[in-house]
Structure 1
Amino acid sequence: MSFNNLKSSIGQALQGLSESVSQKTQEMASTWPAYAQVQQRLAQEKLGQITDISQMPREYIDLEDRIDNLQNSIQVLLHVTRVYEEPAYDWPYSTQESVQDWSRAIGSRVQELSRASSASEAGNLLKSPVGPENGPRTLNYALSQASLAVSTLTSSNMPGPNGEGLSSGLIAYSDTQAKLAQIRIAQDTQVQTKFNKQLREILNNPIAKANKYRKDVQYKRVLYDIARTNLQNARPEKEASLRVEMETLEDQFAQITEEATIVMQETLSNTHLLKNVAELAEIQKNYYKQSLELMNDLMPVFNTAKGDDEDFEIDAKKDPLAAKKVVDDDE
């Protein structure tokens, strides 16, 4: 491309940009007075200074109420279920634990580097990742780690059958809690994708669209009311033009009201909140079912394990779940 062609292309681009900006400026200049009038009128209506307000059809008002109720219901549910997006919602010490883990990991790396026997070994240590052990920051995982740590201490400090029984029981408990942590994380992921996400899509798409139409209706209604007032207070020579303006705005007001009514009806008919809640309940049910199965599989370990002093067995009379498993096994 020659310099003249490049110069011409740049000039055309700048001219197009200038025309676009000019057009937008003209549009804003033409709409701003009407927008300012609408805002002033709405403020006067709220203050009770104007009472001559066009009334909306009963059907339209009922639809608006139903849209508001649907939106509020979804927001209330999401205010609670958003907790499923925070892995440590049942383990408040997660942040403190993370800082401590990182401190220990960095301290351990410094010690490893101080013991490095060559530059290549030190280089490999520097290239390897530094950080705490990866694991879900949940209460179950914390219980798993704590049980495993106690099991290790027991093996070292309590030799003999008693220590072995306690250690094996703790290891089994730790394994079960680790599995519980994983299925809880799986539950949380499903709630995020199959419930929270779906509800946010309802808020951000059909409900947001309905609310936009409602704002357009309000805007056209106020413009129409302003035009009616102007016509009522007009001098005779202005009546004809102001009447045409009022009738035009009346038609626009009626048209956008009809469109908004259809949009709100579609939003309500296509939104099935009870179905979404049923999906949430199904996710929770599967989580509790899997949790119960894991705990039932764990309990026999304690029925045969030895404590510090003597054998012990879960009392079925005090544990209905264990009692049910005994009956099932007998059958």
Structure 2
Amino acid sequence: MDMFKGFQKNLGSWGGQIAPIASRTVQFTKEQLGQAEDKTQLPAEYIELEKRVDAIKAVHQKMLAVTSQYSHEPYDYPPNIKETFQDLGRTVSEKVQLLSSATSTAEAQAALTAPPSAKPQPKTFNHAIARASLASSQLLHQQHTGAGEDPLATALEKYALAMESVGEARLAQDAQIQSRFLAGWNTTLNTNLKFATRARQNVEKARLNLDAVKARVKGTTWRLPGTAASAHDEHELSPEAQEEIEKAEDEFVTQTEEAVAVMKNVLDTPEPLRNLAELIAAQMEFHKRAHEILSELAPVIDGLQVEQEASYRKSRENA
């Protein structure tokens, strides 16, 4: 007997949960079919906030669709190049250091194919240029038979080191963007805006409940499209019915006020703009660092060029 009573209690509780859902479903269907006689209107301020929140959500989705590439290291890695495991084994700086102590072509080749370090080298465009430049430099060195060093080979080696430094600066930029921009915007999209969406859903539920209660206590029922409404006499609402409507109205007002507060919080928070400023700062720091590296390299390469041109003119004059 106790088990049966418990079952009845659970069934009643379950039925109490299903009834509002069913009422909202019927009300929603009536509205979709154009049969809802009275539909509670949302405040103009609320509708305006909804539009602005939708715009903020669209902005976050659009920006993140592009800037999320900063989370993928090889976003600028050329798809047409084929680098081997050995190519990615050591940094350009490590290879240059090993090459500096090589006394023969064999030792130089061994330096280029030295056992890999702890992890593969980054697959970025700048790192790829650095590796290609160093390999090209060594190819010229191996074929150079004249006195002194091949100026182009020397320039390519220096360029390789510079490009590796630029690549490391790019990785530092990406790390900052991930932590200071992407993390913040993803939080806004997946947390703050979801809270706003949930609050708006609660408002819609409360509105549907309110309109369903109004329709029920006034004797309005659902009908198939094209079917005439049943005639019913006008009558005053009973105190119980009036109380039920007022309760539903209070819930609607409460949910609307809460949603307004949540949406205003999403729109007023300075976090997205602060995150955008961090994105720009990271990009600016990267370009500043790249400019510094190349500014130091350019006069060195210019000097090698001037020396080669002078040597070339001299050789032509002697000829």
What's the TM-score once normalised by structure 2's chain length? 0.73
Query: 1:82 — aligned with what?
Result: 68
Cα distance in 2 for partners of 1:141, 1:55 equals 60
Contact 1:54-1:221 at 8 Å conserved across structures: yes
Question: Counterpart of 1:317?
Answer: none
**Are 2:215 and 1:216 equivalent residues in the alignment?**
no
TM-superposed deviation, 1:30: 2.5
Aligned equivalent of 1:285:
284
Match of 1:295 in 2: 294
Query: Structure 1 pair 22/80, CA: closer, same or farther in 2 (3 Å)?
Result: farther
The 1-side partners of 2:71 and 2:130 are apart by: 22
Counterpart CA distance in 2 for 1:150 and 1:22 is 84
8 Å contact from structure 1 (residues 228, 246) kept in 2:
yes
CA distance in 1 between counterparts of 2:184 and 2:52 reads: 19
CA contact (8 A) 1:162 1:309 kept: no
For structure 2, the residue ranges without an aligned partner over 5 or more in a row are 1-5, 90-114, 221-231, 312-319
CA distance in 1, matches of 2:33, 2:117: 61
| SS of residue paired to 1:88 | helix
> Are residues 308 and 155 of structure 1, via their aligned partners in 2, closer, same or farther at CA, if it must alter by over 3 Å?
farther
2:23 — aligned with what? 37
Partner of 1:261 in structure 2? 260
Q: Distance in 1 between matches of 2:25 and 2:130?
A: 61
Matches within 5 A, 1:1-20: none
The reply to whether residue 155 of structure 1 matches residue 141 of structure 2 is yes
1:244 aligns with 2:243: yes
2:85 corresponds, among 92, 101, 118, to: 101
The Cα shift of 1:53 comes to 1.1
- Counterpart residue type for residue 74 of structure 1: H
1:53, 1:225 within 8 Å by CA — same for their partners in 2?
yes
| Corresponding residue for residue 214 of structure 2 | 228
Match of 1:89, SS?
helix
User: Cα gap change, 1:229/1:153 in structure 2, threshold over 3 Å: closer, same or farther?
Assistant: same
1:205 to 182, 191, 196: 191
Deviations 1:99-125 (A, max 9, x none): x438999xxxxxxxxxxxxxxxxxxxx
Q: Is the 8 A contact 1:155 1:164 kept in 2?
A: yes
SS in structure 2 at match of 1:134: coil
Q: Quick check: 1:140–1:177 contact (8 Å CA) kept in 2?
A: yes
Q: Distance in 2 between matches of 1:298 and 1:102?
A: 27
Distance in 1 (CA, whole Å) between partners of 2:170 and 2:263 is 38
Partner of 2:39: 53
| Structure with higher RCO (Cα < 8 A, 6+ apart) | 2
Query: Structure 1 residue 64: deviation in Å?
Result: 1.2
Shift of the alpha carbon at 1:213? 0.9
Map Cα deviations across residues 194-229 of structure 1 (whole Å, 9 max, x no partner). Answer: 001001111222221121111101001000000111
What letter matches 1:206 in structure 2? N
* 2:163 equivalent to 1:164: no
Q: Which amino acid in 1 is paired with 2:49? A: L
Which stretch of structure 1 is more off in the superposition, 49-58 or 183-192? 49-58
Cα deviation for residue 289 of structure 1 reads: 0.8
Q: In the TM superposition, what are the counterparts of 1:120-131 in structure 2 within 5 Å?
A: none
Aligned runs of 1:303-322 on 2, under 5 Å?
Answer: 303-306=302-305, 310-311=309-310
Judged with a 3 Å threshold, the aligned counterparts in structure 2 of structure 1 residues 103 and 150 are, in CA distance, closer, same or farther, namely closer
Deviation at 1:274, TM superposition (A): 3.0
1:144 corresponds in structure 2 to 130
Find the aligned partners of 2:8 and 2:140 in 1 and give their Cα distance: 80
CA RMSD of aligned residues (A): 3.3
Of Structure 1 and Structure 2, the greater helix share is in 1
- AA of the residue aligned to 2:137: S
- Kept in 2, the 8 Å contact 1:210–1:267? The answer is yes
- TM-score, length-scaled by structure 1: 0.71
Shift of 1:281: 1.2
Which of the residues 48, 55, 59 maps onto 1:73?
59
1:179 to 162, 165, 176: 165
Task: Tell me the distance in 2 between the aligned counterparts of 1:311 and 1:44.
Answer: 90
Displacement of 1:311:
4.9
- Structure 1 residues 54 and 102: CA distance shift in structure 2, 3 A: farther
Q: 1:309 to 1:292 in 2, by over 3 A?
A: closer
Structure 2 CA distance for aligned equivalents of residues 85 and 72 of structure 1: 21
